[in-house]
Amino acid sequence: MDDTAARRSKLLAAMREVLANDRLGFYAEVWSYTPIFFSGSISHAECNSIYLAPDSYDNLTALDTRNLLIHESFHAFDCVNNGAPPGALNEGAATWIYQIAFPSDTYQGASFAEATYGMKLFHRDSWSPPDPDWPIGSVPPNATPKLLYVFAWLSSGDPSLLPWNSPARLLSCYDKHWSKLRRDVDFYGVWLPAEQAATQRMLGDPECRPQPSPTT
What pLDDT is recorded for position 213? Answer: 60
Give the integer Cα–Cα distance in Å for 36 and 57.
13
Give the integer Cα–Cα distance in Å for 18 and 14.
6
Task: Report which residue type is found at 14.
Answer: A
Which segments of the chain are extended strands (E)? 36-38, 44-46, 49-52
198-201 contacts, C-beta under 8 A, 24 or more apart: 198/113, 198/117, 199/109, 199/111, 199/113, 199/114, 199/159, 199/160, 201/176, 201/177
The answer to whether 136 and 169 are in contact (CB under 8 A) is no
Residues of the chain with pLDDT under 70: 1-3, 213-216
What pLDDT is recorded for position 215? Answer: 41
pTM over cut 0.75: yes
What pLDDT is recorded for position 4? Answer: 84
What pLDDT is recorded for position 212? Answer: 82
What pLDDT is recorded for position 52? Answer: 97
What pLDDT is recorded for position 144? Answer: 97
User: What is the torsional sign of CA 68, 27, 92, 83?
Assistant: positive
pLDDT digits (tens, 9 = 90+) for 134-155: 999 999 999 999 999 999 999 9
3-state helix, strand, coil in the chain (%, to 5): 55, 5, 40
What pLDDT is recorded for position 3? Answer: 59
b (16+ CB within 10 A) / e for 126-152 = eeeeeeeebbbbbbeeebeeebbebbe
pLDDT digits (tens, 9 = 90+) for 30-50: 999 999 999 999 999 999 999
